[in-house]
Amino acid sequence: MLKIGDIEMKNPVVLAPMAGVCNSAFRLTVKEFGAGLVCAEMVSDKGIVLQNAKTMNMLYIDEREKPLSLQIFGGEKKSLVEAAQFVDKNTNADIIDINMGCPVPKITKCDAGAKWLLDPNKIYEMVSAVVDAVDKPVTVKMRIGWDEEHVFAIENAQAVERAGGKAVSMHGRTRVQMYEGKANWDIIREVKKSINIPLIGNGDVETPQDAERMLKETGVDGVMIGRAALGNPWMIYRTVKYLESGQLMEEPTVREKMDVCVLHMDRLIALKNEYVAVREMRKHASWYLKGVKGNGKARKGINDCETREDVVRLLYGMVDEIEAKEMNIQMV
C-alpha cells in the first residue's frame, strides 16, 4: 500500500495536480470515485506570502477530500519556505508537495517549476530548507528532465531523498516535450531502483490496464492519473477496481455522466458562485461530453450557457434525445 511519511492511502491511485482544474469541487468528485490520494492544483508561494485573496481561496480543502497533497511552486528559498510554513500551520492538507514539473514559460522564467530540473544541488538545498521548516511530509512532483540532453532524473530524485523528502512523483516526459510524444517509463523504472522513498509514476496512463502495466513494468509504488480523469472520474474508479480484482467495470451511461457533471457544477457553484462556476464548467462539460455519440449540438452550445439552468437544460436535453433514439432502435 502507498504510504508517504505517516500518511497511508487506501490504494495506489493518485489524482495528479492539474493547474486550473484541481480545485476542491473537482477533487472531491474524484475522491468519491475512490482515489487513494488527490492533489491540489499548484499555488504560488508569493501569493501565499502576500496573502493574495484568490490564492487564499485556492487553499480551501473539504475534509472529505483527505488525504490530500497541496502543491506549492516558487524559485526563491525564502518565499518557498514561508509559504510551506503557512500551509503547514494554517491548512488541513496532509502533504506539502513542491512543483518541479510545470513546463510553461511564465513559471520556468521565475526559476520555478521544471527549471529546477537542471540543478540537483538546488533541489537538495530548496527541499531540505522546506523539510526543516515544516512538520507535514514534503514530496516533489517532477519530470524526467529539461530536454534530452539534460535528463537528471536519478540525480534529482536522489537529491529529494537526501534532503528529507518523503516521496517523488515523476512524469515520464521532459520539459521540452510538454505533453507531446511518449512518456519514458524506462527512466521511471531506473529511478525507482535508485531511491528508497516511494515513487509515483505519471504519464500515458489512459486506461486501467495502463495503470497495472506501469506498476508491473516500473515497480513504482503508486500511479498518478491526470488528463485521463478530465470529465471522467470513472477512470479512477475503474482503475481502482481493476487493480483490486482484475475486473474491468463497465463504462457509465450518458445519463450517469451528465449526473456527475451537474454534481461537479453544483459543487463549483458553492465554491465560487454561479457566474464564475458556469463559465469554468464549460471546459469540464466538454470533457464530460467527450466520446458521447450524438453530442454535437451540446458541445457547440455549452459555450453559450450563462446559468446553471442553461447547462442542465442543454445536457439533459441531449440525454433525452439519445435515450429516445436508443429506445426506437430497440423497438425496431
- Looking at residue 246, the DSSP 8-state letter turns out to be S
Residue with cell 471546459: 283
173 is in an annotated binding site: no
Closest CA to 67 of 157, 160, 1, 4: 4
Q: Is 158 annotated as a binding residue?
A: no
Residue 261 known to be catalytic: no
What is the DSSP code string of 80-110? HHHHHHHHHHHS--SEEEEEE----HHHHTT
Locate 265 and state its grid cell: 457544477
239 contacts 211 by C-beta, under 8 angstroms: yes
Q: Is 18 annotated as a binding residue?
A: yes
Sequence-distant contacts of 208-213: CB under 8 A, at least 24 apart? 208/235, 208/238, 208/239, 208/241, 208/242, 208/243, 208/248, 209/242, 209/248, 211/13, 211/239, 211/242, 211/243, 212/242, 212/243
Handedness of CA 295, 297, 298, 300 (dihedral sign): positive
Angle at 229 between CA 217 and CA 287, to 5 degrees: 140
Determine which one of 22, 39, 102, 261 is catalytic.
102
19 marked as part of a ligand binding site: yes
Q: Check the annotation: does 198 bind a ligand.
A: no
C-alpha closest to that of 130 among 42, 194, 47, 71: 71
Annotation-wise, does 141 bind a ligand? yes
Q: Is 159 annotated as a binding residue?
A: no
Residue numbers in the known binding site are 17-19, 71, 141, 171, 226-227
Catalytic residues: 102
Residue numbers in the known binding site for FMN are 17-19, 71, 141, 171, 226-227
